[in-house]
Amino acid sequence: MNTKYYLPKTAQILIFILFPTLIFGQKNISANLTKYMQAQVEVNNFSGAVLVTKNGSVLLKKAYGLADYEWNIKNTVDTKFQLASVTKQFTAAAILLLVEKGKLSLTDHLSIFFPDYPKADSVTIHMLLSHSSGLAMGFKEVALSSISADSAYAEIKKMPYEFTPGTQTAYSNIGYYLLAKIIEKVSGEKYALFLRKNIFEKAGMKNTGISNNDSIISKKAKIYYRTEKGYIHNPYINWDVNIGHDGVYSTVEDLALWDNALYGTTILSEKTKKLMFTSYSSENWGYGFIINPFYNHGHQLIAHDGGFFGTMTSFNRFTDDKIFVTVLSNNESFSHIIGYGLSAIALQKEVELPYKHIQTKIDTTLYDKYAGKYGKVEILKIADKLYYNSKEMELVPESKTKFFRVDNNDRTIEFIQDQSGIFNSIIMTKGGVKEVVKRNNL
C-alpha cells in the first residue's frame, strides 16, 4: 500500500480544480476523520457509529443516521449494534479461558464433546478456531428459520465437509457455532452467561451481551438492509441457534474497552494471547481474528469484520501504533471499507473523500486496451462491459479512464497510460485509499 505514483503537473492542477475538497492533508487527524465520515453520510447514507482512538485518546467518536426509521430515532454513541462475525473473537477468548483453566485442550477432538458428529475424531479445537476444520461456511438457512436448538444441530450435522480436516483453510461459521456449544458443555453454563461473567464484566463492558428471541434490550438499533426498492426490515433471525459465530451486540465504547483489555492480562494471559494472535495459515487466520490482513496499510494489524443482512461491522487493532478503529452499521453500510479509510487517516495517509459517481458514456472499444491482469486483479471485458475479477462486479465508467464498481461506489479503478500509449497500471481506490498496481507480463 506504500507504492508512490506521480502525475504530470498539469494533471495535478486539473485534479485540484475539479475536486478541490476531495483530498486533504495530514495536519489535523481528528478534523480529517470528521470530514471523511460526514462525506460517508452525505454520499453513501452511512448509518451507525464509529470510534477511532490513538494511545487511548479519542480522535473521533460519533453516531450517524437512525436507530429506528419508523420513529425517526437517531443513533447515539451508546446505541447497541449487532456485531455479526466480530462475535467470533469473544467465542475464541472463551475457549482459550477454558484452556487456561485446564477444562479442555486445543488438541482435543470434536468427538469428546459431540461423538455423533461426522468425522468428529478428525477435527480438533485448534482446527475449529483457525478455520482449518473443513466444516462448511453454512448457517444462513438455519439462522433464518424458527427451528429449535436440537433440530438445528441435527440439520448442521448433515452439511458436508468442504475438505479433509486440517489440510486446508476455509472460513466456517459452523465451526464457531460448535465452539459455542462446546463452551456450554464444558462450563455447564449458557454461552451468554459464560461470556458475561468471564469477559464482558471483567472488561467493564456493561452495554454488551448476547441477543436472544425474547429480551427487550434498551438502546439497541433496529437493522435494515438494502433492496432494489430501498431499505426494508431485517428478516427474523433465530438467536437461539445463531450463536458463536454471531450473536454478540455491543457499543463502540465497549469495544474500545475490549481492545484495551487485550493489551493487559485481566482476561487472557500473555501466553494465551500469543496463541490467539498467531497466524496459522496463508489466509492469516488466528483464533477469532485475522492477523496482518492485506488491508493493514503496512502496519501490524489484528482485526475482524462482520456482516449479516443489514449488519456490517469492522474491528481493527493497530497494535504497534496503539490505534483502534471500529465501525458499526445497522443499514448495511460498508463498514469494512469505511474502517479501511479511517485507519489510513489515523495513520496519516492521504485519503480521498467519498463523492457522487456519475456514469458517463464512452467509446467501449477502449475496453480492449484495459482488459488484463494487474497483480491479483483481473479486468474482464465481456460484450461491451468491463468487470472486476468476475461478472458479478461490473465496472461503470465515470470518465474515459476511471470506473467505479457498481456494487460499491467507494471502490474505483483508474487506468494509467505510459508514454508509449500502453495502459500499464491501474490506480485502485478503496474507501479513498489509493494503490498503484502494475499490469502483469509487460
State yes or no: pLDDT of 371 exceeds 70: yes
CA–CA separation, 330 and 155 (whole Å): 29
DSSP, res 65 = S
Please write the tens of the pLDDT for every residue from 180-232.
999 999 999 999 999 999 999 999 999 999 999 999 999 999 999 999 889 99
Burial 220-250 (b: 16+ CB within 10 A, else e): bbbbbbeeeeeeeebeebbbbbbbbbbbbbb
| Percentage of the chain exceeding pLDDT 70 | 94
CA–CA separation, 106 and 129 (whole Å): 9
CA–CA separation, 29 and 326 (whole Å): 16
The reported pLDDT for the residue numbered 138 is 83
CA–CA separation, 128 and 177 (whole Å): 9
What's the average model confidence in pLDDT over 394-422?
A: 94
Please write the tens of the pLDDT for every residue from 270-316.
999 999 999 999 999 999 999 999 999 999 999 999 999 999 999 99
Burial 357-373 (b: 16+ CB within 10 A, else e): beeeeeeeeebeebebe
The reported pLDDT for the residue numbered 228 is 86
- Give the pLDDT band of residue 442 (cuts 50, 70, 90): low
Q: Return left, alpha or beta for 121; rule: phi > 0 is left, psi -120 to 50 is alpha, else beta.
A: alpha
What's the average model confidence in pLDDT over 103-125?
A: 98
List beta partners, residue 311: 308
Please write the tens of the pLDDT for every residue from 20-79.
333 444 459 999 999 999 999 999 999 999 999 999 999 999 999 999 999 999 999 999
State yes or no: pLDDT of 8 exceeds 50: no
Which three three-digit cell numbers place residue 258?
Answer: 475490549
**Domains of the chain by start residue, with CATH:** 81-346 (3.40.710.10), 364-438 (no CATH)
391, 46, 238, 69: CA torsion to nearest 10: -130
The answer to which of 136-145, 202-211, 312-321 has the lowest mean pLDDT is: 136-145
State yes or no: pLDDT of 121 exceeds 90: yes
Amino acid in the structure at residue 237: I
The reported pLDDT for the residue numbered 139 is 82
Please write the tens of the pLDDT for every residue from 156-180.
999 999 999 999 999 999 999 999 9
The reported pLDDT for the residue numbered 24 is 43
DSSP string of 148-207, one letter each residue: -HHHHHHHHHTSPPSS-TTSS----HHHHHHHHHHHHHHHSS-HHHHHIIIIIHHHT-TT
Q: Between β-strands 385-388 and 394-397, what pairing exists: parallel, antiparallel or unpaired?
A: antiparallel
CA–CA separation, 38 and 51 (whole Å): 14
pTM of the model: 0.91
DSSP string of 306-352, one letter each residue: EEETTEEEEEEEETTTTEEEEEEESS---HHHHHHHHHHHHTT---B
The answer to which of 5-14, 131-140, 186-195, 295-304 has the lowest mean pLDDT is: 5-14
Q: How many CA atoms lie within 13 A of 113 on its CB side?
A: 23
State yes or no: pLDDT of 257 exceeds 90: yes
CA–CA separation, 367 and 341 (whole Å): 29
CA–CA separation, 366 and 362 (whole Å): 8
| Percentage of the chain exceeding pLDDT 90 | 91
Please write the tens of the pLDDT for every residue from 394-406.
999 999 999 999 9
